[in-house]
Amino acid sequence: MKFHIPVKVFDEKDCVKKHSGELATFGKKALIVTGRNSARVNGSLDDVIEALKNENVEYLLFSDVEENPSVETVFAAAEKYRTECIDFVIGIGGGSPLDAAKAIALALKHPETDLAYLYDKERDPSALPVVCVPTTCGTGSEVTGVSVLTRHDKKTKISMVHKVYPDLALVDGKYLESAPQSLIVNTSVDALAHLYESVLNAKVNDYVRMTACAGLKCWAKTKDVLSGKRERSEEDNALLMRSSLFAGMSIAQSGTSLPHALSYALTYDLKMPHGKAVGCFLPGFLAAAPAEQRDELLKLAGFNDMDDFSAFISELFKDIEVPEEELHRAGELVSANRAKMESASFFVDDTVLDNILQSRGRFHNHGDGSMVDC
């Protein structure tokens, strides 16, 4: 059995300021990588800049990472800063800037990096040191080596093959304070999917069960916030971040499975947020799992049974509609990918895959007889 998380994690309020000395250990000049706007609004960018100034570390700022970052964005950043003698990269934001930061750190270390390099296992995977400051509660990218990148040439998203683990993760729930409810919902459903997909996974082991179980228990405490039954507190923000972190630790070991694989086409074609797209297939995936194990996992996250879970997800995502042809494309992409078809801990053939695809929307009957298209 293997458990590998080479990331130093500080998970506490004001950890960026408190641990500024950690940043100085990576060098004298940092490249900060963010999305276009949110890091300026939620206070994370100011905190990082203040911490760097305290430690006399110079910095440059690349704030042009789009949602679902493309390989083109990675190369544009690497090209722009290649001659700047950058010592380390700090990603601030949701999974998009964090994933981009990892790929940029690789490309800055290896000037010859091109598309083939990102997807060639034989090439040197080392990168500049990476620090991550998450501001969403879904991807857990701050503790994984994964960098999911948009490939416009293939009209989908494909993770680069090299694992670039952050060296340091500074995790503070306060950056979620200003986040809209829709972002909290979408990203924490992503975290829940990571927890379930890592356990119902062919590569599961007892360490994954341990981190996933801890994550599901944290997640359960915030469930009523997602459904709008109560207001989000400071403690909830910390728990949302922590369940995402445990979920990241879990997928870092075993990877994700079918809901993630099926989601990528929806995100690419329909511009659907990642967590929402994954959430579409999560009830169907759980429904296909062995009943005893599934029911135990549902209880850990605070659900009574499969119906309760399906109703919860349908209620969160009742505005989604997925055209039949889109489901068909998502299914075809995954059906042709043997590794993905064999990623679950239970048997999946085209019939099971089709059930998962068709099940989205079939779960919850909304009283008026209409089925919600989730």
**Residue 243 contact among Fe ion, ligand NAP, none, beta carbon within 5 to 8 Å by kind:** none
Least Å from the CB of residue 26 to Fe ion: 27
Residue nearer to ligand NAP on the CB measure, 59 or 295:
59
Nearest CB to ligand NAP, comparing residues 113 and 263: 263
Strands 156-159 and 130-134: unpaired
Q: Please identify, using beta-carbon distances, which residue of 167 and 190 lies nearer to Fe ion.
A: 190
The binding site for ligand NAP (CB under 6 A) comprises 35-39, 42, 67-68, 93-96, 99, 135-136, 138-141, 144, 146, 148, 157, 175-176, 178-179, 183, 187, 190, 274-275
CB of 166 to ligand NAP, least distance (A): 10
**DSSP letters for 63-106:** EEEPSS-BHHHHHHHHHHHTTS---EEEEEESHHHHHHHHHHHH
Would you call 281 exposed, middle or buried from its count of C-beta atoms within 10 A (0-12, 13-18, 19+)? buried
Nearest-angstrom CA–CA distance, 83 and 306:
55
DSSP state of 141: G
The answer to whether 189 and 313 have CB atoms below 8 angstroms apart is: yes
- Can you tell me the distance from the alpha carbon of 210 to that of 189, in angstroms, rounded to the nearest whole number? 20
To ligand NAP, the closest distance from the beta carbon of 149 in angstroms equals 8
Token pair for 173:
């729930």
Site map for Fe ion, 159-198, x if CB under 5 A? -------------------------------x--------
Least distance from C-beta 80 to ligand NAP, angstroms?
18
Choice between 311 and 320, CB closer to ligand NAP: 320
Query: Which residue number places its CB atom closest to Fe ion?
Result: 190
Q: What angle do CA 256, 257, 259 make, to 5 degrees?
A: 105
Among Fe ion, ligand NAP, none, residue 91 binds (CB under 5-8 Å by kind) = none
Residue ranges in contact with Fe ion by CB under 5 A? 190
